[in-house]
Structure 1
Amino acid sequence: MAVSLFYRTGSNAKEWSGTFEELERKQAKLRRASQRILERHQTQDGLSEDDVQHDLKQQQKLDKSAEKITEYLATHQEKTGIKGKPVKSNITDPDSAKMITSKGTVQGYNGIAINDDKHQIILQAQTWGSVGEQQTLVPVITQLKQQLDKLTKQKQPNEHTIKFTADSGFNSEANLEFMAQSGFDSYIDDNQFRKRNPLFKESETYETEQEKRRLKRSKGRPRLFTSDDFHYDEATQTCRCPAGNQMWRSGVNVNSYSQKYTRFCGYLKDCKVCPLQHQFMRKPSIKTGRQVQFKNDESRQKLSYGDKMKVKIDSPIGRRQYGKRLGAIEPVFGNITVNKGINKFTLRGQEKVNTQWKMYCLVHNIEKLRNSLH
């Protein structure tokens, strides 16, 4: 499955966007302009009737715009971003956001879509009036899991076989932690993913002498996973391996070298068919799956979920899996925007735009289903 960001422009006037502080300044500016027209009438009695009518219309227009801002500020709350700072609101469409695209700055929405890579059928589609897409991942994945539950008639699907890819716009510590517990085998790159690719000569990671010596000793094989690469939740006493498979707790307070550990073991059925098996174990799984243990104290170094994702996505299997994303999601958006020519929204409001985006996706799905019948 793949997920992507899709910019859609609306017909909302960008000049009606701003933070509450900016809108208040704009309101004061409109009031001053209206007052100047009134003062001019009082000092110049010799104006023609046409000039008087023109000025009155202009004054009414300014007063109407100022009143529009006053009403908006009184009936709405200021929106804040991820860091708690105020973000710009739009008076004509409060649900939309001002964003930078390849076509310049537009007032519009982010269209999110999740599709399968084999048939390119869109499984989940939502629009969001937000500049960043990081906060959209959790709700769309939650809705996707609900859909999968319905399709399987309340029977839990084999989540370990579902591979999920997303671009760096969705990469955050919170999102990676959520995906680690979701059961999906996820691959979400970061901004430095390309630079770490050994194919690029400027990559510092793979050009160090230490890495060269390690590759020579291991005959080019990738490094084995350590306990730091596993997703261990100390609060719930659960653990998932880097491939996303759930492990079972095989021991508590296990003594080893005067230290106490919590031990987990992978299910043999998962380890035998795991594509990352050569990074988990030195020898193929025969009797038991991969075992891993964690210290029962605070001295254990905890890597962030971002660090763990870097290790996973930098592996040959990870790069190969993430490389499929381009051919999975981009043709979907290309078909909708270029082939179908439906490249912008014509409505306003979150509910209406969301419905319109789903109709666009439905047109794409109908065509894919029709072609599969031939």
Structure 2
Amino acid sequence: MLKIILLGYVHGLISSRRIAKACENNILFMSVSGDVQPHYTSIAGFVAKMHEQIEPLFTQVLMICDEEGLIGRNMFAIDGCKLKSNASKEWSGTFDELSRKKAKLARASKRIIERHQAQDGLGEELVTQDLNQKTKLDKSADKITAFLATHQEKIGSQGKPVKSNITDPDSAKMTTSIGTIQGYNGIAINDHKHQIILQAQTWGSVGEQQTLQPAVTQLKQQLDKHSSEHTIKFTADSGFNSEANLAFMAQSDFDTYIADNQFRKRNPLFKDSETYETEQEKRRLKRRNGKPRLFTSDDFHYDEATQTCRCPAGNEMWRSGINVKSHHQEYTRFCGYLKDCKICQLQQQCMRKPPMKTGWQVQFKNGDSRKN
């Protein structure tokens, strides 16, 4: 059974139904299984219930790789990806949201009965259709009731309830480059010498940053079984950067390199790259549903020496206030001329609504070193 499952994973078949189907019509699977066609429920049950027996086999594989000198122990890298779960986002929600959904289903079912009582002359076909719909609604409500009675609500890192999924309670809603999915964070740590994976796990209810510490802890437990003569380097991308992770890795024995979230802005290769700026703008427009980027004070040309300011469109602004106090700070405030703002082509990036009484206002902290 394990051979069949691993062969399926190698060929991108992660569904138990698809693996079972491959055992019926794929010559490779038929050869490995001895021409036995296991039911998909048997495959799913094996994966779910036999993980404690399967895990030591992978440990033995790593020990053999180590004995053959395939693991260098000089540099490790961690990375992750989002794995889609075989569960619908429709069945996700906090316990409060699921309770409201259950009540909504009950009201919809009740309305069907009330309509039948008020209209005795409904046709047989319509009655049958409504009764089938009522059965589905009642079944969904019972599914939610059973889940709420047998599971405890998940609490996030900030102490607030997080969404659970009725079909797959271990999974979570995650934002990816292709939209929001119901799935897992898949994390792997590999060795640089032959790209052998030493740690691979999935987490459902935590972000990518939170997976670094448990993954590294388990890696250290494996390495402690064997002595290492070299200082181990450890690399990670900006997705794992956080103050907690930096503090944790500083206490480890690894020479760690983790990119921060602003490194592209400091790198001149990215600053002068039209491709990077174009793709970054495409991602931003996709997140904002095509809405243009709003200007900030950094987009205005402020000359502190002459106390003048020009807007991004190049129009002069008039100083509307000096030493304006806000949040215990003093600012100099400028305002655009209404006649300019009304006809400006960049109006949507300045103001949420068309200007009626005044133009765009911007303020600069006194002592700001920026120049025109």
Q: TM-score, normalised by structure 1?
A: 0.50
The equivalent of 1:179 in structure 2 is 249
Alignment of 1:300-315 (within 5 A): none
Distance, in Å, in 1 between the alignment partners of 2:209 and 2:260 is: 12
Q: CA deviation at 1:184?
A: 0.4
Partner-residue secondary structure (3-state), 2:266? coil
Instruction: Answer whether contact 2:238 2:258 (CA < 8 A) is retained.
Output: yes
Equivalent in the alignment of 2:94 = 19
Report the counterpart of residue 133 of structure 1 in structure 2: 208
Cα pair distance change 1:109/1:201, threshold 3 Å: closer
Match for 1:116: what amino acid? D
Larger mean CA deviation between 46-55 and 35-44 belongs to: 46-55
CA distance in 2, matches of 1:171, 1:163: 16
- Number of residue pairs matched? 197
Q: Closer, same or farther in 2 for the Cα pair 1:11/1:94, shift >3 Å?
A: same
For the pair shown, the structure with the greater C-alpha radius of gyration is 2
1:213-252 matched pairs, under 5 angstroms: none
Aligned 8 A contact 1:33 1:62 in 2: yes
- Identity %, equivalent residues: 75
Distance in 1 between residues matched to 2:176 and 2:93, nearest whole Å: 18
Letter of the aligned partner of 2:172 in structure 1?
A
Shift of 1:200: 5.4
Partner of 1:76: 151
* Map of 2:85 onto structure 1: 10
Residue-by-residue CA offset, 1:278-299 (whole Å, 9 max, x unaligned):
xxxxxxxxxxxxxxxxxxxxxx
What is the alpha-carbon root mean square deviation over aligned residues?
A: 1.8
Answer whether contact 2:264 2:271 (CA < 8 A) is retained.
no
**Could you tell me how far 1:11 is from its partner in structure 2?**
1.7
Q: 2: distance between equivalents of 1:126 and 1:20?
A: 27
Partner of 1:31: 106
TM-score w.r.t. the length of structure 2 is 0.50
Q: CA deviation at 1:197?
A: 2.8
Confirm or deny that 1:86 pairs with 2:161: yes
AA partner of residue 238 (structure 2): S
3-state SS of paired residue (2:251): helix
- For 2:92 and 2:266, locate their aligned partners in 1 and report how far apart those are by CA, in whole Å: 39
Q: CA deviation at 1:117?
A: 2.1
- Residue 130 of structure 1: how far off its partner (Å): 2.7
1:170 aligns to 2:240 (yes or no): yes
Q: Distance in 2 between matches of 1:195 and 1:83?
A: 30
Answer yes or no: is the 8 Å Cα contact 1:99–1:131 preserved in 2. no
Q: Which amino acid aligns with 2:156?
A: G
**What CA deviation, in whole Å up to 9, does each residue of 1:102-137 have, x standing for no partner?**
222111111100112231111110011035112211
* Secondary structure of the corresponding residue to residue 35 of structure 1: helix
State whether structure 2 residue 136 is matched by structure 1 residue 66: no
Would the aligned equivalents of 1:9 and 1:107 in 2 still touch at CA under 8 Å? yes
- What amino acid is the match of 2:203? W
Distance 1:114 1:201 in 2: 31
- Mapped to 2, the partners of 1:201 and 1:34 lie a distance apart of 59
Match of 1:122 among 192, 197, 209: 197
Of the two structures, which has the highest relative contact order with CA contacts closer than 8 Å and spacing of 6 or more? 1
**Deviation beyond 4 Å, 4+ runs, structure 1:** 198-202
Q: Which structure 1 segments of 5+ residues have no match?
A: 203-374
C-alpha displacement of 1:22: 1.7
Q: How does 1:155-304 map to 2 (within 5 A)?
A: 156-158=227-229, 161-197=231-267, 199=269
- State the alpha-carbon separation in 2 of the partners of residues 60 and 200 from structure 1: 58
